[in-house]
């Protein structure tokens, strides 16, 4: 999990929430996302395709389901900050107050709508009672000098509470699971692993003094690709493509992972395999499985070793070929789905 002191010190808790809120917004907008940065013009600043921006204020309350004492004050500060930031950003903007408070305006009607769940409401979709509270906040906060276009404003509620990681991150992890659903990927532990990686990357983006340094879509998507095409995750399909017994397959992967990885990552070798596969495939409806099993001997020279038995070399080549071809398919699929 994201490495940070988990004690309920409000400041730390706030930063942790900000990171997780950024991950949720990032995944919800991944197709059009260009860059992301914490503590840019706003707590969370995202640039989208077509000169569109998302500017978000993240407001966290340690006891978010019971403590509503300061929520309106906090909301008022968020509006002030958003109004100032909006002035500095040209282009279309979405202004978001994202919070873990289950009643961010201390409004019973809104609380009923939220009902403890993740919620996204545009200003226009808020109950009248909430709109009135916002209007009051805007008229009472004399510091807000720039008029806020309320049609750009949304409230997002992201439940995030307790020191128990499982409970605190469950909604964020669900969002990651939904995102992975786009690719039809379901691997044990993958969403937690990605949450760790993204938390670190997003947090790091907020620690750079130079504001021009932002997290790009590539920075976000490639760790996903790496995790997905890791051979451990691919084993079932790869076992099938190699035609090997599962135990033999696992044995070769465990003993020769460095050789397999290095071959699968070297561009010259990968290109050769993919080109060979495409040439064969264009002549007949050749599946990865039949390509691997009918052509593995072509690559024997690349795996020549006096210390390996012939049958081990055969398995090694088959595992490598199937991993290369399946990886390529996964890379293309993920890139295309997130428009990278």
Taking the complex as a whole, how short is the minimal distance between the CB of residue 281 and other proteins, in angstroms? 15
H or E segment at 156? strand 153-157
Give the residue with the Cβ less far from other proteins, 89 or 215: 215
Interface residue with other proteins, options 147, 166, 267, 283 (CB under 8 A): 267
Span from 30-38, 162-170, 282-290, 327-335 in contact with other proteins (CB under 8 A): 327-335
191-192-194 Cα angle (round to 5): 65
* Residue 93 binds other proteins (CB under 8 A): no
Q: How many residues lie near other proteins (CB under 8 A)?
A: 26
Interface residue with other proteins, options 113, 150, 274, 308 (CB under 8 A): 274
φ and ψ at residue 338, rounded to 5 degrees: -100, 5
Strand 52-59 relative to strand 153-157, pairing = unpaired
Rg value, the chain, Cα: 25
Strand partners, 154: 96, 122
55-61-64 Cα angle (round to 5): 115
* Residue 308 binds other proteins (CB under 8 A): no
Alpha helices in 69-216 (DSSP H): 71-88, 108-114, 128-140, 165-181, 190-206
Taking the complex as a whole, how short is the minimal distance between the CB of residue 128 and other proteins, in angstroms? 47
Taking the complex as a whole, how short is the minimal distance between the CB of residue 174 and other proteins, in angstroms? 23
Taking a C-beta distance cutoff of 8 angstroms, is the pair 57, 90 a contact? Answer: no
* CA–CA separation, 225 and 174 (whole Å): 19
Give the residue with the Cβ less far from other proteins, 216 or 235: 216
* Residue 305 binds other proteins (CB under 8 A): no
Interface residue with other proteins, options 5, 128, 188, 268 (CB under 8 A): 268
Alpha helices in the chain (DSSP H): 10-28, 71-88, 108-114, 128-140, 165-181, 190-206, 217-229, 231-242, 246-255, 257-265, 267-283, 288-295, 310-337
170-173-178 Cα angle (round to 5): 125
* Residue 304 binds other proteins (CB under 8 A): no
Taking the complex as a whole, how short is the minimal distance between the CB of residue 262 and other proteins, in angstroms? 6
Residues 205-244 that bind other proteins (CB under 8 A): 218-219, 222-223, 225-227, 229
* Residue 12 binds other proteins (CB under 8 A): no
Taking the complex as a whole, how short is the minimal distance between the CB of residue 53 and other proteins, in angstroms? 25
- For the CA atoms of 276, 279, 283, 288, the dihedral, rounded to the nearest 10 degrees, stands at 50
Taking the complex as a whole, how short is the minimal distance between the CB of residue 300 and other proteins, in angstroms? 19
Taking a C-beta distance cutoff of 8 angstroms, is the pair 21, 31 a contact? Answer: no
* Residue 113 binds other proteins (CB under 8 A): no
Span from 9-17, 34-42, 114-122, 262-270 in contact with other proteins (CB under 8 A): 262-270
Residues that bind other proteins (CB under 8 A): 3, 196-197, 200-201, 218-219, 222-223, 225-227, 229, 258, 261-262, 265-268, 270-271, 274, 328, 331, 335
């Amino acid at each position: 999990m994201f490495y940070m002191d988990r004690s309920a010190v409000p400041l730390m808790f706030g930063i942790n929430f900000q990171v997780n809120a950024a991950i949720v917004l990032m995944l919800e907008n991944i197709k059009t996302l260009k860059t992301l940065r914490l503590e840019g013009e706003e707590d969370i600043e995202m640039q989208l395709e077509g000169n569109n921006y998302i500017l978000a204020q993240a407001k966290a309350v340690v006891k978010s389901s019971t403590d509503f004492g300061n929520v309106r004050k906090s909301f008022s500060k968020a509006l002030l900050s958003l109004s100032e930031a909006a002035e500095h950003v040209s282009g279309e903007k979405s202004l978001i107050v994202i919070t873990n408070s289950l009643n961010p305006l201390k409004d019973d009607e809104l609380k009923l709508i939220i009902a403890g769940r993740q919620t996204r409401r545009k200003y226009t979709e808020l109950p009248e009672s909430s709109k009135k509270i916002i209007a009051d906040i805007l008229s009472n906060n004399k510091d807000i000098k720039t008029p806020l276009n309320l049609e750009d404003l949304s409230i997002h509620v992201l439940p995030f509470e307790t020191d128990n990681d499982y409970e605190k991150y469950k909604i964020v992890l669900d969002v990651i699971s939904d995102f992975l659903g786009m690719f039809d990927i379901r691997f044990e532990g993958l969403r937690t692993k990605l949450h760790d990686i993204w938390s670190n990357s997003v947090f790091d983006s907020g620690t750079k003094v130079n504001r021009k340094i932002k997290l790009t879509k590539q920075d976000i998507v490639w760790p996903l690709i790496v995790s997905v095409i890791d051979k451990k995750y691919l084993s079932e399909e790869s076992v099938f493509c190699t035609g090997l017994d599962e135990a033999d397959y696992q044995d070769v992967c465990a003993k020769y992972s460095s050789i397999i990885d290095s071959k699968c990552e070297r561009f010259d070798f990968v290109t050769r395999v993919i080109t060979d596969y495409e040439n064969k495939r264009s002549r007949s409806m050749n599946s990865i499985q039949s390509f691997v099993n009918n052509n593995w001997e072509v690559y024997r020279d690349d795996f020549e070793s006096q210390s390996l038995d012939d049958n081990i070399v055969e398995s090694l080549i088959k595992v490598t070929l199937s991993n290369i071809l399946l990886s390529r398919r996964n890379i293309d699929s993920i890139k295309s789905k997130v428009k990278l």
